[in-house]
Amino acid sequence: MVVNSVEFLFFFVIVFLLYYLPFRSNVKLQNIVLLAGSFFFYGICEIKMIPLLFISILVFYFIGIQIERYRDKNNVLTSVFSYLGIVLGIGLLIYFKYFNFFIESISSSLTAIGLHSNLHTFNIILPIGISFFTFKLISYTLEIERGNITASHDIVAFSNYISFFPTILSGPIDRPGKFLPQLAKFRSFNYNTATDGCKQILWGMIKKMLIADNIALFVDPCWTYVNEQSSFTLLLAIIFFPIQLYMDFSGYSDMAIGVGKLLNISVAKNFNYPFFGRNIAEYWRNWHMSLTGWLTDYVFMPLNIKYRDYGVNGSIFAIILTFVLIGMWHGASWTFVLFGLYQGLLYIPLMKSGAFFKKKKIKLNKSGYPCFKDFRKMVFTYFLFSVGLILFKAPSLLYSYHFLHAIVNNWSLPLITVSEWSRPVVFFGLSCLLIVHEWNHRKDEYAFSAPLFIKSHFFRIVFYYVVFAVVLAFAADSTQFIYFQF
């Protein structure tokens, strides 16, 4: 059940009505409705993994209370429970996501040096959303240990933090310090917040259903039938993919945030107009912010402090390691490891030159758009990111090699016919216009949040329904959200 489906609409209407109407002013009942909705939602997606989610919540609830109990009193026990939380959280990820990857890597390494191995992979089902909810569990443990938050003594509220249905499948990864206090208070209905939520959902639908799914019609076949595509077509597929990925993932994030607003719950922001980044650091600062922020706080910063004696080289090491982890977070494959490494390596010139530490404002021309120099940097950064995504998109290293090989060798193949690519190209053009629109609204929370020029309330509503109808009419056949696989 995806957020932009009819099934979700009916599910959400029921949750919404139960959430606000029968249980007025009762925060506990409101949280119970939310939790029941979240478990139902997760169960529809992955019923077999409900016990795993439930047990994880119980264990970390207990760990959180124990850390708080011994914090400031018994450092050893505090550390024991903190490490237990971290080990269990990472252990969950390793077992479900990386175990077979490690076995395969060891086995192929042994084979490569001429040794025979009897190592076999296991049939492990990857629980949907595990990368997102384990990060929340670890974050919760670390925040209590650091004394930034107090442990939750309300199991329902804590369960809601971990399993909150709009974000459990694909994030954003909320932090307990901001999310849990919201669940302690009664959330009354707020018309402005709710309508803003609806607008953000609509904006997410435009991005996902209208843009991403239509561009996918071009990009996905290029990747499936690499050898049949001309070099030019494959280059276009590389250029189109970051837009598809952005529209897909940020579209989902907008819908999740919008659903949160309808429940009067603030969800972490995940994207902040990343295509306006003039270097890779600015780009990543605004791309999948809830993940990069998480890794900055819990991995990069501690490493940076640890290796500060080594100066810039220490920071470079910290950043490369952080990016390798970002890559690995996406999946158990060497392609993701190299994707992370590639992104990390792009930081080296920035850090060596000191540009990483300087924050310069974008220079504008008379029309209010970026000056040519900054625009050129944005395009170049986009290009660098696009190239890295070859590793992200390829199912294996060998496949990415085939893809690059085809780009070099397929110049003689005919281009795909105009009828095949006219629709995706139109939507790529439309997405460029949307990005211009985003530039004009870059100071807003999302590019559709500004009040409409239409003064009549009735016609404003009509306008939004017309946009909604256009999205439904021109949406391509729905494809799964790209980040569901992670």
Partner 1 sequence: MKKFLFETLGPLLVVIIIYFAFDPFKVIRSYSSYYTDGQPQLVALDKDFVSLKTYQVSPETKKYDSFIFGNSCSMFYNVADWKKFLKKESVPYHFDASSETLYGIEKKIEYISNNGKLTDVLIVADANLLKQDKPKKGHLYAISPELVHYTNFVPFHLSFFKAAIDPKLSLSIIAYKMLGRRIGSIVDDRVLSYDSIHNEVRFRLFEDEIKKGCYYNESRMKVFYQRDSIGNYSESVLGENQISLLNRINDIVRSNNARCKIVISPLYDQVKFNNRDLKILEDIFGKHSVYDFSGVNDITEDYHNYYETAHYRPKAAAYILNRVYQ
Tokens representing 44 are 């529809």
Sites for partner 1 among residues 256-285 (CB under 8 A) = none
Sites for partner 1 among residues 208-247 (CB under 8 A) = none
- Give the list of residues 6+ apart from residue 389 with CB closer than 8 angstroms, or none: 238, 241, 242, 245, 339
Q: How far is the CB of 28 from partner 1 (least distance, A)?
A: 21
Task: Report which of 80, 63, 94 is spatially closest to residue 176, judged by C-alpha positions.
Answer: 63
Using CB under 8 A, which of 52, 195, 217, 413 touches partner 1?
Answer: 195
Using CB under 8 A, which of 23, 189, 317, 375 touches partner 1?
Answer: 189
Check residue 122 for interaction with partner 1 (CB under 8 A): no
Using CB under 8 A, which of 80, 198, 325, 355 touches partner 1?
Answer: 198
Q: Can you tell me the distance from the alpha carbon of 91 to that of 56, in angstroms, rounded to the nearest whole number?
A: 11
Check residue 459 for interaction with partner 1 (CB under 8 A): no
Check residue 379 for interaction with partner 1 (CB under 8 A): no
Check residue 13 for interaction with partner 1 (CB under 8 A): yes
Q: How far is the CB of 6 from partner 1 (least distance, A)?
A: 4
Check residue 476 for interaction with partner 1 (CB under 8 A): no
Q: Can you tell me the distance from the alpha carbon of 332 to that of 281, in angstroms, rounded to the nearest whole number?
A: 25
Q: What is the dihedral of CA 68, 74, 76, 82, to 10 degrees?
A: 0
Q: What are the beta bridge partners of residue 364?
A: 370
Q: How far is the CB of 395 from partner 1 (least distance, A)?
A: 21
- Residue with the two structure tokens 């003689």: 412
Sign of the torsion angle spanned by Cα atoms 204, 208, 211, 212: positive
What one-character-per-residue DSSP string does 427-440 give?
Answer: HHHHHHHHHHHHHH
Sites for partner 1 among residues 57-86 (CB under 8 A) = none
Check residue 194 for interaction with partner 1 (CB under 8 A): yes
Q: Can you tell me the distance from the alpha carbon of 346 to that of 292, in angstroms, rounded to the nearest whole number?
A: 16
* Amino acid in position 131: S
Looking at beta carbons only, is 201 or 328 nearer to partner 1? 201
- Give the list of residues 6+ apart from residue 43 with CB closer than 8 angstroms, or none: 50
- Report helix, strand or coil for 60: helix
What one-character-per-residue DSSP string does 325-365 give?
Answer: HHHHHH-SSHHHHHHHHHHHHTHHHHHHHTTTT---PPPB-
Task: Report which of 150, 201, 136 is spatially closest to residue 3, judged by C-alpha positions.
Answer: 201
Contact range with partner 1 by CB under 8 A, out of 66-74, 106-114, 189-197, 373-381? 189-197
Using CB under 8 A, which of 5, 353, 396, 440 touches partner 1?
Answer: 5
Check residue 432 for interaction with partner 1 (CB under 8 A): no
Looking at beta carbons only, is 432 or 470 nearer to partner 1? 470
Q: How far is the CB of 9 from partner 1 (least distance, A)?
A: 8
Using CB under 8 A, which of 20, 132, 223, 241 touches partner 1?
Answer: 20
Size of the site for partner 1 (CB under 8 A): 18
Using CB under 8 A, which of 376, 469, 480, 485 touches partner 1?
Answer: 469
Using CB under 8 A, which of 7, 440, 442, 480 touches partner 1?
Answer: 7
Give the per-residue contact string, 381-400, with partner 1 (x = CB under 8 A; - = no).
Answer: --------------------
Sign of the torsion angle spanned by Cα atoms 96, 98, 103, 108: positive
The burial of 54, by beta-carbon neighbours within 10 Å (0-12 exposed, 13-18 middle, 19 or more buried), is given as middle
Q: Can you tell me the distance from the alpha carbon of 363 to that of 372, in angstroms, rounded to the nearest whole number?
A: 9
Using CB under 8 A, which of 48, 72, 191, 368 touches partner 1?
Answer: 191
Check residue 454 for interaction with partner 1 (CB under 8 A): no
CA distances in angstroms from 379 to 29, 239, 340, 343, listed in the order given: 51, 11, 21, 16
Q: Can you tell me the distance from the alpha carbon of 12 to that of 258, in angstroms, rounded to the nearest whole number?
A: 12
Q: How far is the CB of 262 from partner 1 (least distance, A)?
A: 9
Check residue 453 for interaction with partner 1 (CB under 8 A): no
Sign of the torsion angle spanned by Cα atoms 328, 332, 337, 343: negative
Q: How far is the CB of 455 from partner 1 (least distance, A)?
A: 17
Which stretch of DSSP H or E encloses residue 109?
helix 99-112
Q: How far is the CB of 182 from partner 1 (least distance, A)?
A: 20
Looking at beta carbons only, is 86 or 194 nearer to partner 1? 194
Looking at beta carbons only, is 189 or 232 nearer to partner 1? 189
Contact range with partner 1 by CB under 8 A, out of 286-294, 310-318, 362-370, 466-474? 466-474
Looking at beta carbons only, is 450 or 472 nearer to partner 1? 472
Using CB under 8 A, which of 153, 465, 480, 485 touches partner 1?
Answer: 465
Looking at beta carbons only, is 13 or 379 nearer to partner 1? 13
Using CB under 8 A, which of 125, 398, 454, 461 touches partner 1?
Answer: 461
Check residue 473 for interaction with partner 1 (CB under 8 A): yes
Instruction: List residues binding partner 1 (CB under 8 A).
Output: 5-7, 9-10, 13, 20, 189, 191, 194-195, 198, 461, 465, 469-470, 472-473
